Every structure is written in structure tokens, then in C-alpha cells.
Amino acid sequence: MKQYRYLDLIGKTDERFIKEVLDIHDSERRSITMSKKRIVAVAVAAALVLALGVSAVAAYLRGLNTVEKYISDREESIRLPESFATVAAQDIGTEIEPEDDEAFNPGDARATGVIVSRDSFYATVEINASDAGLDDYDYPDYFDGKFQSGKFGMTADVDGEEVLFGYTGNTPMVSCEDGIMTLVMHFSAYLPEGVDAINVEIGEFGYTSYDNPPDKEHVAVSDKVYSFSIPVDESDMVVPVNSVNEAECDGVKFTAAVDSLGLHFYPQLEISEENNETVREIFDTNKIGIKMKDGTEMKGLFYDTSVPHVLAGGFMGAGETYFSFETLVDVEEIESISLGDAVFKFE
Amino acid sequence: MEDAKIVELYFARDELAVSATREKYGRLLYSLAERILGEKQDAEECLDDTLLALWNAIPPEKPESLKAYSCKTVRNLSFGRLSRNLAKKRAANSGVPLDELEASLSDGLSQARFSDAEFGIVLNSFLGKLRPTARAVFLKRYFFFDTVPEIARDLCMKDERVKSLLFRTKKKFIGFISEKGEDKQ
């Protein structure tokens, strides 16, 4: 076979396609259009960045208003089991193969795994932030080592064309070792039909400063911004099936919905005047816990990433009738969940 | 000079057509030839061969885009020359990683048994299904041998997005070809 056979055969490309590519060089209009898209994407993202984490997810849930509405929206009937239902772990999630053999250099970022449904996605991300100078900074005592991004934006690729889409969620950092930062992205997002990648820009890592109370501000330790794409294969999209369970503990109604993606667990506690103090006590003293099969325990689920395989995010939902929190866990590995003194075995 | 005017000169068998083509597209054509052949002298000779080929082909050919037609001609001639050079065991000093690009294409394509003509039909069928940006990235890399940074600059994208899009488009291409190969059997 002739050497470079396939490269040679690319020469059979129809002239109209070649002309199209050549015309790109001659045209400035396209670059302006693409830049505008990016500017709009950043503006939209900036608005969402401000709402990332606590308030963004709370806003999402605020629309649900009541537990009953939440249940009806999910079209699930409430079961009243003695313990939480079993959630069979599914072989879900796609490991992302490296796109080339290049080394993972400073400034590079990549997604290593993704789980995606039509209205949400999770991805694990690595960033080689050894170029960001994160070690050379005098951090305040209250800094817990978990960097937050000050710049964030996403667009979708649909057959190579960049499109905007709505999203809300957050990107908690799991670890930062030797300059390699590991993050999890979890977003509610309606991905456009035909999506084949999600393009992400993230950076200006730093921390939230409380030096001027009551104001909080993001202090960027680095101005580096990292870009990467998360490939999406629509044939791999999972269709979440939720199981919903209700229980009661110390006068607090407790509804837990476990997403069959296997990673979502969000108990919701309905707060009333009568149980307000009880709930507040639970909330304040972190009497919510998850015990994993390997013996590790997580108490107080608000951004506690001390347990390596359990990724936590916390939020106050609605603020009026209930609060809830969301935890990204490997459901297979949960042994029990505790709420105050009540312990529920997870089978 | 407008392309239409230059083509008229070819049809009128006026040799000004050749010099007009060289003046307008010589640098582009030379650049593409040099990327493939890696040698300035080879590239210069290939450019001369291209201009002669155009003179011989037009008429009866009447290209809609002289620029695109010329690029296709110089590319095909360059690969012909490259093939002869390799047969004479002359090393290819191409600045483009041809081996790597060929390997990345052939990995996955080798199972599909197509004649050269059939491959061309399938290739263009695939390219026709792509959106313009994906098509541009694919052709800029595999037809024109632009580097990733060059593609990113021309299309106002980040390098990472170009790489990602290239990877996905290439995967789709391999899948498409394989599917067509199965249909053929």
C-alpha cells in the first residue's frame, strides 16, 4: 500500500469544500461572529457564576416550592419504607480517553469522566495548575485549601458549531496535589439536541475573602484561565429514574430522593414552626451524616470533601419551607445515613 | 485580477493566465507544496508543474474557484512527487508530521475496503454532513496541514477546542467510513 495513502486520498475533497475553507481566510465576518458568541457566553456565564453553588441550586429548587410539588414533578409516588430503598448501582459514566498522546503539561486541562443525561451532567476534571503559582501566596488562616474559580463559562458544540445553553450548578474542588487540581462539575443543564461536546473555560482560581464583613469577595490568586472540552455522546445519555422515600425523625419529615445515576442523594426536610428548632439544631450541629462501607464517615455535608470518594455540596433550598442539601456520593458504598439520632441503613 | 478573468485568459490560450495565477496564488500553492514535500526546490518545481497542469487542464475544465482548483492540483501533484521521492528513498523532510497524521487516519480506516474512487465519494458524503466549522477544522488539518494554533487563530477558537473538535470529527469519519464499508459488503 502506498505510504500516506489516506492523506493523499483526502485530496479527493470536493472543490466547494476547499473553497469554503479558503474563504474563511478572506472573511473577517466569521471571526467577529465567533467573538460575539464568546462575549455573550461569558456574560451569561458571569451572571451564573455569581449564583454558583449555594444560591444557584437553591434557586433551582425554589421553583419546586413544596415537597409535594417536587414529588409530583418527578411523577413518583411517595413510599414509606422503614429504611431507604436499594439503589442498584449502574455501570454508568464514561471514562474519557485522552485525545492525544501529549503529556499533561502546565496549563492543560482535561475531563477524565462524564455522566450525562438530557438535563444534567457530571464530569471529573483535572487541571495542571502548576503554572498558576498557587503555592506562592500568603493565604488567610480561614482558607481551607479548596480553591474556587472566579471565571467560568460553558458552551455546547453541536456538530462543531458553538451554541449557548442554560445551566446551573457548581464545580467543587476535590484536591490539589503537586499543582494538579481535581474538580467535579455537576450541573443541571438542558443540553441542546445534537450536542457532541461541552466547552468549558474555568480559572482565576482563588478563595472567598471575609476580610471586609459583611461583604464577601473572590480573591483571585492566579489569573490563569484553562480551557477544555467534555465530549458528549448522546447514545450514552442516561435516563434518570428516581426513587423517593419519606421518613420522620424527631418530628421532622424527611424525604430523600435518590437518583439512579447513582450519585445523587438529596434529603429534604420540611421545616415548620413546630420543628424549626429541631431542624436548625440538626443543621447547625451537623447532625446529618453519611457512613460509608469502608468505615469513613462524613458529618455535616456542607462542602465537606474530606472523604475522598464523597463529594459534597450544600445549599439552603427555598429557605421558607424546607432546606435540603445535595451530595454526590457513590450510592453503592453508603452503609447508613443518620439524621440526628436516627440511623437509616442503606441496603 | 479576478479569477473569472484569469480563466478567460486560459480559455483564450493567453499565457498571461499562467503569470496571473502565479502572481495571485503562487505563494499559497508554494506553501502547500513545501509543507508536503519539505524541500524548497521540490516545492518550487511542484509549483511549476502545477501551473503547467492548470494550463493543460483549462480548458476544457472551467473551475468555479480557480483558487480551490489550484490548491487541489498542487496538493495532488505534491503527493505524487512525495511518493516518487520515497520510492527513491529520499527522506521526506516535511515540516508536517505526515507519518503521525497518516497513522491517526489509517488507524480505524484500514478495515474498510474502498477503491480510491469509492473513498473519494464516501469522503465527500461525510464532509457534506458536517457543519461548516467542523468541516473547516478537519480540512485545514488534513487537506492544508495547518497546525492546531494556525487553525485556532484562523477560526477564533482556543487550541484545546480545535484539538477536541478534530479528535471528534476524525472519530466520526472513521465511524462513517466503517459503516459504509459494512453496507458495501
CATH of the domain at A212: 2.60.40
Let me know if residue A57 belongs to a domain: no
Same domain, A80 and A173: no
| The pLDDT value given to residue A153 | 92
- Chain A: closest CA distance from residue B16 (Å): 23
Cell numbers at B104, concatenated: 491517526
Given a contact cutoff of 8 angstroms between Cβ atoms, the answer to whether B127 and A17 are in contact is yes
Same domain, A121 and A224: yes
Same domain, A248 and A319: yes
Tell me: the pLDDT tens digits for B35-61? 999 889 999 999 999 999 999 999 999
Given a contact cutoff of 8 angstroms between Cβ atoms, the answer to whether A10 and B79 are in contact is no
Contacts of A19 in chain B (CB under 8 A): 64-65, 67-68
Is the confidence at residue A266, as pLDDT, over 80?
Answer: no
Domain boundary among A216, A236, A256: A236
Q: What is the DSSP letter of A194?
A: T
In this predicted model, which residue has the larger pLDDT, A159 or B137? Answer: B137
Is the confidence at residue A253, as pLDDT, over 70?
Answer: no
B3-87: CATH, from 1.20.1290.10, 1.10.1740.10, 3.30.2140.20, 3.30.70.370: 1.10.1740.10
| The pLDDT value given to residue A311 | 32
pLDDT tier at A262, thresholds 50, 70, 90: very low
- Minimum mean pLDDT among A189-193, A304-308, B68-72, B180-184: which range? A304-308
Tell me: the pLDDT tens digits for A269-280? 555 666 666 655
Those residues with Cβ within 8 angstroms of residue B62's Cβ, 6 or more apart along the chain or in another chain:
B7, B11
Taking residues A140-167, report their average pLDDT: 86
Let me know if residue A10 belongs to a domain: no
Contacts of A4 in chain B (CB under 8 A): 79, 82-83, 98, 102
Given a contact cutoff of 8 angstroms between Cβ atoms, the answer to whether A188 and A120 are in contact is yes
CB atoms A4 and B134 under 8 Å: no
Beta bridge partners of A120: A117, A188
The residue of chain A nearest to residue B140, with distances taken between CA atoms, is A21
Closest to B165 (Cβ–Cβ): which among A34, A35, A157? A157
Domain boundary among A236, A256, A284: A236
Taking residues A221-241, report their average pLDDT: 84
B residues 113-132 lying closer than 8 A (beta carbon) to A: 116, 119-120, 123-124, 127-128, 130-132
Tell whether B77 is within 8 A of chain A (Cβ).
no
Contacts of A2 in chain B (CB under 8 A): 83
Same domain, A228 and A290: no
Tell whether B57 is within 8 A of chain A (Cβ).
no
Cα–Cα distance between B79 and B100 in angstroms, integer? 16
Taking residues A80-91, report their average pLDDT: 26
Same domain, A190 and A278: no
Identify the three-state secondary structure at position B111.
coil
Considering the segment(s) B98-184 as one domain, its CATH architecture is: Orthogonal Bundle (1.10)
Is the confidence at residue A27, as pLDDT, over 80?
Answer: no
**% of chain B surpassing 90 pLDDT:** 55
Given a contact cutoff of 8 angstroms between Cβ atoms, the answer to whether B145 and B139 are in contact is no
Same domain, A209 and A222: yes
Where are chain B's structural domains?
Answer: 3-87, 98-184
Identify the three-state secondary structure at position A219.
strand
In this predicted model, which residue has the larger pLDDT, A78 or B76? Answer: B76
ipTM of this predicted structure: 0.92
Taking residues A95-114, report their average pLDDT: 78
Which residues span the domain enclosing A263? 63-90+239-345
Cα–Cα distance between A292 and A337 in angstroms, integer? 9
| The pLDDT value given to residue A117 | 79
Domain boundary among A236, A270, A299: A236
Is the confidence at residue B177, as pLDDT, over 50?
Answer: yes
The average confidence (pLDDT) of chain B is 88
How many other β-carbons are positioned within 10 Å of the β-carbon of residue A250?
A: 15
Closest to B136 (Cβ–Cβ): which among A7, A24, A231? A24
Q: Which one of A1, A2, A3, A108 makes the best mutation probe of the B interface by having the most chain B beta carbons within 10 Å?
A: A3
Q: Which of A240, A238, A310 is nearest to A92 (CA)?
A: A238
- Minimum mean pLDDT among A59-73, A226-240, B119-133: which range? A59-73
Let me know if residue A128 belongs to a domain: yes
**Residue B100 exposure: Cα atoms within 13 Å on the Cβ side:** 10
| The pLDDT value given to residue A33 | 34
Q: Which of A285, A293, A263, A282 is nearest to A324 (CA)?
A: A282
CB atoms B119 and A12 under 8 Å: yes
Same domain, A258 and A316: yes
Is the confidence at residue A317, as pLDDT, over 90?
Answer: no
pLDDT tier at A324, thresholds 50, 70, 90: very low
Is the confidence at residue A93, as pLDDT, over 70?
Answer: no
| The pLDDT value given to residue A199 | 94
Q: What angle do CA A74, A77, A83 make, to 5 degrees?
A: 110
Same domain, A204 and A99: yes
Provide the residue count of chain A: 347
| The pLDDT value given to residue A16 | 93
Same domain, A100 and A76: no
Let me know if residue A282 belongs to a domain: yes
The average confidence (pLDDT) of chain A is 64
Same domain, A202 and A302: no
Let me know if residue A157 belongs to a domain: yes
Cα A80 to Cα A131, A248, A250, A274: the distances in Å are 53, 10, 16, 22
How far out from the chain centre does Cα B31 lie? 12
> In the block, which residue shows the cell 441496603?
A347
Same domain, A226 and A275: no
Q: Which of A340, A31, A48 is nearest to A201 (CA)?
A: A48
Let me know if residue A26 belongs to a domain: no
| The pLDDT value given to residue A275 | 61
| The pLDDT value given to residue B138 | 93
| The pLDDT value given to residue A334 | 67
Let me know if residue A55 belongs to a domain: no
Q: Which of B94, B45, B54, B84 is nearest to B72 (CA)?
A: B54
Cα–Cα distance between B132 and A49 in angstroms, integer? 31
Tell me: the pLDDT tens digits for A287-315? 567 777 878 776 654 433 333 233 333 33
| The pLDDT value given to residue B168 | 86
> In the block, which residue shows the cell 471575609?
A210
pLDDT tier at A325, thresholds 50, 70, 90: very low
Taking residues A58-65, report their average pLDDT: 33
- Chain A: closest CA distance from residue B140 (Å): 7
H-helix or E-strand containing B134?
A: helix B132-142
Tell me: the pLDDT tens digits for A176-193? 888 888 887 878 777 888
B residues 18-47 lying closer than 8 A (beta carbon) to A: none
Given a contact cutoff of 8 angstroms between Cβ atoms, the answer to whether A114 and A184 are in contact is no
Let me know if residue A257 belongs to a domain: yes
In this predicted model, which residue has the larger pLDDT, B105 or A37? Answer: B105
Cα–Cα distance between A247 and A84 in angstroms, integer? 9
One fold for B3-87 and B98-184:
no
Identify the three-state secondary structure at position B50.
helix
Is the confidence at residue B9, as pLDDT, over 90?
Answer: yes
In this predicted model, which residue has the larger pLDDT, A241 or B101? Answer: B101
| The pLDDT value given to residue B41 | 92
Query: What total number of domains does chain A contain?
Result: 2
| The pLDDT value given to residue A34 | 32
Those residues with Cβ within 8 angstroms of residue A87's Cβ, 6 or more apart along the chain or in another chain:
A243, A258, A260, A262, A331, A332
Is the confidence at residue A3, as pLDDT, over 70?
Answer: yes
Same domain, A339 and A244: yes
